[in-house]
Structure 1
Amino acid sequence: MRRFAGKSIVVTGAGSGIGRAAAMLFAAEGGQVVVADVTDQAEETAQTIVAAGGVAAAIRMDAGDEGDVARTIALAVDRFGGLDVMFANAGISGGMANIFDTDVALFAEVLRVNLIGPWLAVKHAAPLIAARGGGAIVLTASVAGMRSGAGSPAYSASKAGVINLATTAAQQLSGSGVRVNALCPGLTETGMTRPTFDYARDAGKLDRLGRLNPLRRGAQPEELARVALFLASDEASYVNGQALAADGGLSSSHPVTRQDYGKTAV
């Protein structure tokens, strides 16, 4: 029996990467999926799902815009009769500038998409999921939100906020039947990180990516998508308010090259 048969599901950032892989897996497991992305690639993902015999509807949305989030969730209700699962996955990197070279506008934009976006997802999705008798919300955070050394200051701060949002939301939804968890990926080949992977391939240095984790490799989107599906499924029925790292073991120590104040890391 397919795990998400008849379930109504929203996936944001579903035009590529982890979101696209998750949307396709949800559909393959019987889910009716609203595929949302800030780009036109949402339509491509939806078409791929339908061509494979699945059920999907596409919508273009800005994850940090409340009106867009509300319209996306309303589409799930209109098309599929309600909402059972919300996978708030959309995010941006914001580059790799340090604290002193990051301007206020960039920091604010990273927080708007990466943190305000998941908060809006919880705010608008949770009541509808509760009305269906319960379900799951999965927020994409990052190992960068757990400790330093895995992302820029803006990105890391935003993802630390997502982890805390998951724990806070789980508590405030006590008794509703709505579980909220954060997925914390390590280095994964997505649209956001593809330039890094492509550069490494072209330079013959692909084996160096992910070398600090015990598995000594980066992840593919499907590997993270499967973890998201677990957190959204009844198999994780007693998992709530948690931050689950899927990072090849990186966060077991978070080894990094230290950068002294005023100097460049080598």
Structure 2
Amino acid sequence: MSARVVITAGASGIGLAMARAFQARGDRVWVTDVDEAALAAVPDGIVAARVDASDDAQMGGFFKEVSALWGGLDVLCANAGIKGPTAAIEDMDLAQWRDCLAVNLDGAMLAAKHATPLMKAQRSGVMTFTSSTAGLYGFPYRAPYAAAKWAVIGLMKTVAMELGPFGIRANAICPGSVNGPRIDRVFEAEAAAKDMTPDAVRAGYAAGTALGLLSDAEDIANMAVFLASEGARMVSGQVMTVDGFTINPDPKV
């Protein structure tokens, strides 16, 4: 039987890779995003909706629609996130700090909040939260992003405890640096902050992993599919790092 899968921020990047991976195994997939151009380009067979992951009313309305049309939900990938500002802590803008936490942390909480009644009713389900290696080690010049991603892990572990008795599993995936336009923008911003070139920053991040490589979005998607599978039926409350094994979280070039 095909699973019913919702992926927030699923119209591009890691979220879209997840959507494609679940679709490839025969699941029904519904993605949300705020990028209308990306939503319009979502592959055929994947349902797409414009929903702000940090807006309680919009998220509540969306999950009511999921319940009405699908009658339940098997897999939630709470994936919404933004990179936030790149700045030294003494230069941090409070409004930008709050905007970053609103999407990365509030968005994860709201996804879990509104998915829970659907999963509780059927006494089964899987929630997978996208955190980051920044949520394990910190991230220089990215304080709000790191703070949010640490908090997502605490949220996940609490959800796993609360919902385990209802047959619901929760885990977090911590990607490292993932190839694509988003990390390119991060490298550009960090290069400017550190007076380096983006290529030098990229090389430093790759050198900071045991494998000497950056991940692809598909690597993260493969983990999400595994966590939603029967093969992971006893995996809950866990942090799954997909990063080539970070051995130096702040590499210098």
Tell me what 2:159 maps to.
169
Distance (whole Å) between structure 2 residues aligned to residue 150 and residue 221 of structure 1: 23
Distance 1:254 1:73, change over 3 A: farther
Alignment partner of 1:105: what SS? Answer: helix
Tell me what 2:194 maps to.
none
Distance (whole Å) between structure 2 residues aligned to residue 256 and residue 28 of structure 1: 36
Distance (whole Å) between structure 2 residues aligned to residue 108 and residue 25 of structure 1: 32
Is structure 2 residue 95 aligned with structure 1 residue 108? Answer: no
Distance (whole Å) between structure 2 residues aligned to residue 254 and residue 164 of structure 1: 23
Alignment partner of 1:175: what SS? Answer: helix
Alignment partner of 1:229: what SS? Answer: helix
Give the alignment of 1:1-266 within 5 angstroms: 5-40=1-36, 41-45=38-42, 48=43, 50=44, 55-149=45-139, 152-195=142-185, 207-250=203-246, 253-256=247-250
Report the AA paired with residue 164 of structure 1: G
Residue 145 of structure 1, CA deviation: 0.7
Which runs of no fewer than 5 residues in structure 2 stay unpaired?
A: 192-196
Distance (whole Å) between structure 1 residues aligned to residue 108 and residue 11 of structure 2: 17
Which runs of no fewer than 5 residues in structure 1 stay unpaired?
A: 259-265
Distance (whole Å) between structure 2 residues aligned to residue 76 and residue 20 of structure 1: 19
Report the AA paired with residue 135 of structure 2: G
Overall identity of the aligned pairs, in %? 36
Distance 1:85 1:145, change over 3 A: same
Give the stretch that moved more between structures: 173-182 or 204-213.
Answer: 204-213
Distance 1:84 1:112, change over 3 A: same
- Taking structure 2 as the reference length, the TM-score comes to 0.89
Report the AA paired with residue 244 of structure 1: M
- Taking structure 1 as the reference length, the TM-score comes to 0.85
Residue 96 of structure 1, CA deviation: 1.8
Aligned length: 245
Residue 56 of structure 1, CA deviation: 2.3
